Chains A and B, each alone.
Chain A
């Protein structure tokens, strides 16, 4: 992957996306490897990995569930939904369920602000998610994973 992308200008972010897509996270052991390959310092690579909310340094669950926390979703009950989701999954933000299926993350806007509150599971987006609707979705997700 590094070989394929290295010659592109500003390649580090793209490579990190590639690593996370492949492994589910960016392992600390990858930092010195990337630094050597890209002629950067380890501090520079570590700095980039830790700057961006999207990159994860430890393995997460099989699926990532993101619940929007931004204003438009707040106006439609995101706070209540968030509490419900935390209870339903039995985890707080940045934590993974005991069965390893779901990691819960906050997200600040999914661009679904006319259909609030919004939730995303991996690449799938859901709008007007009431606590009841979340329970339905979770039921479906538990069946297929």
Chain B
């Protein structure tokens, strides 16, 4: 009987040597004439165990890891194809506590299926949302998304259903669905994992969006730093066209939806929605002044949905299982689940999808296992380079939109970067300004000039020059950027700076 063996094609797994492991397995299979089908899946998101190998046994999938090519002959000798014992055996994959305690809705198939196989996708619950959608009116589809409480997972947390409703109400013939896959925030990789591990769920979500608002063309705007995601998306889109889930006759409905991937070119600002639209039009990624909103006048001047990868990939489960099912997860105004990314100086980094409401402490210690260096975690940055630094005294905060906002922080795209006690917070504040200076599109003065002046002021503070005066000046500058910038880059760069000043004042007076 053919045994299925899984080795991930996820970029993080590859970065730890998964390709060499896959090659070693293929070589052993040939020399031992074993009856094995090697499947390149996504990652389960437990990166301290990668490269992870899984084997399908009659009792379910069992895991071994982390594996190096040198371990492979020994695994065959030990009989891992039947799930036998081995020093690196981890038991049933789905019984590993880190994985077992999760509530995976958006990531339901990531790490499980062959990411580019439509048959595998359908066999594991795929395209049920689209099937359901095809039996509904446009207004009902939009209402389902509205009722689910889904909010934009890219960071702005705007109710997705309201955006869709606005686009639906435009009388224009040509509308667009655009997916913002310019995941530039440090500490975030959920979009990447999803596009590499289950790209078809994103394709399905965009197709549903197209049907719901009457758009026939979709674009995925992908950052060029993600070549592995690009490859997976291209393969999955080709497979979906071949199986007629994309194209002129979606699932035999007679309705059309076309989809293509466009590559960015290394500009953080293009994660801002209007800048992304400019870039998709082949222009400099300079932000647009709003209004008009993209939902009214977006790509090529037409009504356009701009949603993040995770937002769109959460739509199929909402349509398949109903708005109420999704809404029953979560708390307060933060409904559904959130794929949280544990990153930086953390022992067990990876992806944790859970209903909103876990505390930072649970995430950092119960899942993350504390710092990678073994030293105390002194600070975390939540929400990317524009997110606030949170001190250990506030680790009891719940990770949801409202609770974080109440302590002056933000959730952003759900990335959590841990720093141990060797971190110099004045340096991190300087970096926030420096990053803004490198990535500013230059359209507005507070961002373009303010960030450069910010670096200079912090340099003077670090050098101990006229500290009190320069600290006042820095706060004043932050206020100007916050109030006067056109978009979130200049407007939010002050968050890491002022939070570092507030919670780690001692680092600025040495």
Give A contacts to B, CB under 8 Å. 9-14, 16-17, 44, 47-48, 51-55, 70-76, 107-116, 118, 120, 123-128
Cross-chain contact B265 with A113 (CB below 8 angstroms)? no
Cross-chain contact A114 with B186 (CB below 8 angstroms)? no
A interface, over-half SS: loop
Please list 22 pairs of residues, one from A and one from B, whose beta carbons are closer than 8 Å in the complex, sorted by A's number. Answer: A10-B283, A12-B283, A13-B265, A14-B263, A17-B265, A48-B284, A51-B286, A54-B265, A70-B385, A75-B417, A109-B183, A111-B189, A111-B191, A111-B226, A112-B11, A113-B188, A113-B415, A114-B343, A118-B15, A125-B12, A125-B14, A125-B15
- A114: chain B residues within 8 A (beta carbon): 12, 47-48, 189, 341-343, 346, 349-350
Residues A113 and B284 in contact in the complex (CB < 8 Å), given A51-B267, A71-B187, A127-B15: no
Contact among B186, B263, B279, B423 with A113 in the assembled complex (CB-CB below 8 Å): B186
- How many chain B residues touch the partner (CB < 8 A)? 61
Cross-chain contact A128 with B186 (CB below 8 angstroms)? no
Contact with A along B106-125 (1 / 0, CB 8 A): 00000000000000000000
Binds A, one of B79-87, B246-254, B431-439, B463-471: B431-439
Cross-chain contact B343 with A13 (CB below 8 angstroms)? no
Interface residues of B in 191-243 (CB under 8 A from A): 191-192, 224-228
Residues A10 and B47 in contact in the complex (CB < 8 Å), given A71-B417, A72-B343, A125-B14: no
Cross-chain contact A75 with B344 (CB below 8 angstroms)? yes
Instruction: Give the distance in Å from the alpha carbon of A53 to the alpha carbon of B267 in the complex.
Output: 6
Instruction: Give the distance in Å from the alpha carbon of A109 to the alpha carbon of B264 in the complex.
Output: 14
Distance to closest chain A CB from B448 (angstroms)? 13
Instruction: Give the distance in Å from the alpha carbon of A72 to the alpha carbon of B417 in the complex.
Output: 6
Cross-chain contact A115 with B14 (CB below 8 angstroms)? no
B interface, over-half SS: mixed
Q: Which 9 A-B pairs have the closest CB atoms?
A: A114-B349, A70-B186, A127-B15, A52-B265, A113-B343, A12-B282, A54-B266, A10-B282, A53-B266
CB-nearest residue of chain B to A129: B15
Cross-chain contact A13 with B385 (CB below 8 angstroms)? no
Instruction: Give the distance in Å from the alpha carbon of A60 to the alpha carbon of B176 in the complex.
Output: 37
Chain B CB count within 10 A is highest, among A44, A55, A75, for A75
CB-nearest residue of chain B to A40: B282
Cross-chain contact B265 with A55 (CB below 8 angstroms)? yes
**B330 close to A (CB within 8 Å):** no
* Apart from A111-B225, A128-B15: 9 A-B pairs, beta carbons within 8 A: A16-B265, A51-B285, A52-B267, A71-B186, A74-B428, A107-B225, A113-B349, A114-B350, A127-B15
Cross-chain contact B186 with A52 (CB below 8 angstroms)? no
Cross-chain contact A51 with B284 (CB below 8 angstroms)? yes
Instruction: Give the distance in Å from the alpha carbon of A8 to the alpha carbon of B36 in the complex.
Output: 44
Contact among B184, B186, B263, B417 with A13 in the assembled complex (CB-CB below 8 Å): B263
Cross-chain contact A47 with B228 (CB below 8 angstroms)? no
